[in-house]
Structure 1
């Protein structure tokens, strides 16, 4: 099983350098041919919008030179610019070149299994271009695995656009990937500062690379009897840690020590674990994977007999999972030294704190209209951002992890998942009804924007609207007729749930609590615009009744 790695943006490529240095020292990687070709070159693509970092990678002999894709101008930490590309001719070639090189790299694989994408959440290239590539890879290879290794910026602030960028990128990752391994720069910095006074970016990258190698490189547990590695570690991790499609954010704790017992190493590792939220409630873990490397005496499994209860209590594993802990071992450590390492990957609800922070900051900035003009300038529109960005991000990111956080037993878990899933489905249907009204207009605008890019206009958006309206004469005055039928069907489903629970199902959208059932029945074309929370909006040649939050 061959794996292709995509390193996108400055952060993704800088983490990739120590990652491949460690991987090259692993004998199973050299012999298995899952990460390397027969000639020793990496199965990797390195993409950036500027040549600075790529030039450093070009000096190594293990990278295929044609797999280095770069532009001449950065993306200015702007998600919209990274996603849509530049307006000037000859500059918007990165996406096409990357997909062509990826196709050729996959064709060199005997048995292609999937891609691992490394990128940041805040940079323009890592977030915007990473989201675009994630979407296109899923579209081109829908049956293959896709795992994202994303790196969250420091909450203190690296860029004024980082909250928007992170929110939009996480929405795309939740939509298109099978698993998202999320690494927080703040946590890495906090752990390293306990050991040293000053911490460099290289030391942070080394620490992140060590954690990723801990769960992705070959292990003896998944090695065949003949001793050959088939490279199933990344995909077995997805199977083990992401049993529910709505809960796919994974976090890794890693520790490497020498002359310490397994019990002492596990105790030190658990000291860095965040166990309780700000209200004192314990976080929950759907599933946990423990990878022990350097187990030359085969002693880890015997040590886990006493450590298993301690790990379950620390991670607060959900009681309905009969096998909440999976264990892999390897005789050799990553660096080939006599030291040992532990990597614990978990689908843990502590990520909710970061997501809540991200959502609140983004909502505050969005309501104030802060920095939105940078997104309108490069092809994003307000309607598009609301329908395809903010609302799906709030639902897909906030509601799904919260279902893990609220689980306590089998019964409550089932009800929580049903409620969250029903809310997602119902809002999805409502979004279809509303989005169908705008979709033709948006297609017109996007077509015009593309034409504006080809013609090299400075104001691609304004010129795009004009060209699009001239070339795409599509009527937008008639809303879809099936919206009422969809509303009735979903209302029946929600009515049954309300009768059983005897209370209303509520979801949080842009800080307002609204009834899901009312959401579906509000602002439909035949209901007029007399309902509170609705208002008329003129779009192109038609006037429609839409919810205020879409106005």
Structure 2
């Protein structure tokens, strides 16, 4: 079974580049034709309103991409969801969506059996959010509900990156709630905090310091990144590549073939279907988070009583609600343990035993709902990912559906409603026929999602 990766906008295509780099480092991932075709070309369709990122992507990986699957126009979307969704008069999004759909149709015919679409995009940009929303809507109309639509959605910093970001987030998330089957939410604030913790754990020397009264750190020499809330005066420089790499490794660690769902070491690509069935059985509750930790393969690890990655993983997972000592509540959680492929005596029971020894810590941290007796599951895989130096790593990944997403949704809802109440920036949407009814429907969908999580996690 195969999946088609659809990258939309600058953020989505930067993730696509990092994803291809990782896939080329890990040829074992291609055993099931989950990612590539018989001719070595990946099942990728890449679109952006501007050509720069698309051209750079093709220049780096022209041997793995079909040039007809790289689609762009000549005009950006001005970081406006409405201009990406309904299109500009001269060079609208409808044209780029039509071309993208045609490429997706042709790519689907090359698949042995198409299982899902994985859409990578940002929630705040005009192309990623607007064109992404329109494309997901069209994919649902074109392929119906027989194919999974799974998104890897990147949320901006809450402090604000763009003046229209709260409207964009609101409109895009309401669309995802209506048309997608599975929403993997990657919040920039959380990713940054995790990478800062990793930097401190590895004791890397700091090469930058806070230089602004606003608490911002230099980012890629030209951009700024928000200082995390860690109680430490030393911070390493976190680049955009670092953030993309962490997100992509987390995605691959979650969806790559595992031994539990394979037959004679041959995966049929059912991992995505099982992920969706276990984590998102309720259509209204489908926003998940992914956390990942890695360590070098060490011979002692498999024989230790406890899995050392468990404590490292939970040290990075946000546990408490904002400004509170109350734990978040999880609906379903999946652990994916990878590694130990160098051991002839490898057995998944060893790894599962290590994980189950930490069940008390898992229960306390994840705080599962009491009404679900099977709120956790465990997958194992003998094979793991390689790092940039092709060194095999043990890894432990947590994919969890819990009410932490409600904090993000409430923040988006409150700030967008506040702006809307005074008609701030509304004219930028009205000029593209996004009227009052459209906004009110989006407000209602987000409220309903929050209420659904509150009711199921009480």
The TM-score range, normalised by the shorter chain, is 0.7 to 0.9
Measured in 2, the distance between the counterparts of 1:320 and 1:393 equals: 25
1:201 corresponds to which of 217, 237, 240: 240
The two structures, once aligned, show a CA RMSD in angstroms of: 1.6
Q: Is the 8 A contact 1:266 1:342 kept in 2?
A: yes
- Deviation string for 1:377-404 (max 9, x for gaps)? 2221223322x32222322x32122223
The yes-or-no answer on 1:354 pairing with 2:431 is no
2:293 corresponds to which of 211, 235, 255: 255
The corresponding residue for 1:126 is 128
- Deviation string for 1:168-225 (max 9, x for gaps)? 1111111111110000001111121231511111111111111111111112222112
Q: Is the 8 A contact 2:335 2:379 kept in 1?
A: yes
Measured in 2, the distance between the counterparts of 1:89 and 1:359 equals: 31
2:160 corresponds to which of 151, 157, 162: 157
| 1:384/1:324 CA distance change after superposition, 3 Å | closer
Greater share of residues in helix: 1
The yes-or-no answer on 1:332 pairing with 2:383 is yes
Q: Is the 8 A contact 1:23 1:334 kept in 2?
A: no
Number of positions where the alignment pairs a residue of Structure 1 with one of Structure 2: 403
The corresponding residue for 2:446 is 393
Residue 91 of structure 1: how far off its partner (Å): 7.2
The yes-or-no answer on 1:314 pairing with 2:358 is no
1:5-404 to 2 correspondence within 5 Å? 5-59=5-59, 60=61, 61-88=63-90, 92-142=94-144, 143-194=146-197, 195=199, 197-225=236-264, 227-258=265-296, 259=298, 261=301, 263-277=307-321, 278-296=323-341, 297-298=346-347, 299-335=350-386, 337-386=391-440, 388-395=441-448, 397-404=449-456
| 1:31/1:274 CA distance change after superposition, 3 Å | closer
| 1:333/1:101 CA distance change after superposition, 3 Å | same
Measured in 1, the distance between the counterparts of 2:384 and 2:92 equals: 46
- Deviation string for 1:41-97 (max 9, x for gaps)? 100100101101000111211011111011111111100001001111687410100
The corresponding residue for 1:405 is 457
Q: Is the 8 A contact 2:385 2:393 kept in 1?
A: no
Q: Is the 8 A contact 2:86 2:92 kept in 1?
A: no
Measured in 1, the distance between the counterparts of 2:457 and 2:274 equals: 24
Measured in 1, the distance between the counterparts of 2:394 and 2:382 equals: 9
Structure 1: where are the runs of 5+ without partners?
Answer: 407-551
Q: Is the 8 A contact 2:85 2:93 kept in 1?
A: no
Helix, strand or coil: the match of 1:116? strand
Q: Is the 8 A contact 1:295 1:329 kept in 2?
A: no
Measured in 1, the distance between the counterparts of 2:91 and 2:117 equals: 30
| TM-score, normalised via structure 2 length | 0.85
Q: Is the 8 A contact 1:72 1:91 kept in 2?
A: no
Helix, strand or coil: the match of 2:127? helix
Helix, strand or coil: the match of 1:83? helix
Helix, strand or coil: the match of 1:63? coil
| TM-score, normalised via structure 1 length | 0.71
